[in-house]
């Protein structure tokens, strides 16, 4: 899927330099001069540092009440979001588990049910969907092929479909949409799904329901035509079978 994203970005005129670090920045009359660790010199209008995020916990003075944090300041919690102080709970990015807004909402809901609702509920991170809002966007849910092999211990069936969305035919833009299903060969259950293409995040939100389904159930669904989403219910051609035994041999 990364190759698909890269190809689509390059098709829009974006130059990619994977595996590259910056070693020097300097202002010039033409903009900002950038020197890479590969010796390349580039000129840019703006340089953006995507350095990630860190929990904003320093100002809370947590040590004063005995709440433990890790080396980056994330609050340590148990599987129910309780901190080292039994009466204090923490949810969301400050715990550095899965840093997504809907996940924080799920954690908060579980906390409320556990503490105020008389139910013992812990967050389930098994099939959390996510998206990268590049152009076109990428979205995934469930396990990738690399994740599924060691976890499931069975061979995998990989189904893929790549096509030019119908709406692109009007603008004559050639920009492929790609969909993938990862299936357990023994149980025939869908373990993961991925899509790169227009509205990928919108489609994947609904596709969460296919996780643990079997492909033949998908084939019984009636698609909406013309739409990109119907590809998920008409995907019947096996692209490849991945052997778990071969994976074990590769890992030694």
Active-site residues: which are they? 225
Q: Both tokens of residue 94? A: 């400050």
Task: State residue 65 phi and psi, 5-degree precision.
Answer: -110, 0
> What's the chain's length in residues?
252
String of DSSP letters for 135-159? SS-EEEEE--HHHHHHHH-S-EEEE
Tell me if 41 sits within 8 A of 35, measured CB to CB: yes
Tell me if 135 sits within 8 A of 199, measured CB to CB: no
Exposed, middle or buried by CB within 10 Å (0-12, 13-18, 19+), for 148? buried
């Amino acid at each position: 899927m990364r190759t698909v994203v890269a190809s689509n970005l390059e098709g829009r005129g974006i130059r990619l330099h994977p595996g590259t670090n910056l070693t020097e920045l300097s202002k010039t009359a033409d903009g900002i001069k950038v020197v890479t660790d590969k010796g390349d010199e580039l000129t840019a209008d703006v340089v953006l540092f995507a350095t990630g995020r860190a929990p904003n916990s320093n100002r809370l003075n947590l040590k004063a009440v005995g709440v433990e944090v890790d080396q980056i300041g994330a609050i340590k919690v148990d599987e129910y979001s309780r901190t080292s102080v039994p009466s204090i709970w923490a949810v969301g990015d400050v715990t550095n588990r899965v840093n997504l807004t809907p996940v924080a909402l799920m954690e908060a809901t579980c906390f409320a049910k556990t503490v105020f609702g008389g139910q013992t509920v812990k967050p389930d991170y098994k099939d959390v969907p996510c998206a990268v809002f590049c152009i076109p966007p990428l979205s995934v849910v469930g396990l990738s092929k690399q994740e599924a092999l060691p976890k499931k211990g069975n061979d995998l069936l990989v189904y893929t479909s790549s096509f030019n969305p119908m709406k692109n035919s009007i603008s004559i833009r050639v920009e492929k949409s790609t969909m993938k299903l990862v299936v357990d060969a023994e149980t025939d259950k869908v373990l993961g799904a991925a899509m790169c293409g227009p509205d990928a995040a919108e489609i994947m939100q609904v596709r969460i329901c296919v996780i643990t389904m079997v492909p033949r159930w998908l084939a019984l669904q009636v698609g909406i035509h013309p739409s990109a989403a119907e590809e998920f219910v008409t995907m019947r051609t096996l692209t490849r079978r991945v052997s778990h035994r071969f994976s074990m041999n590769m890992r030694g």
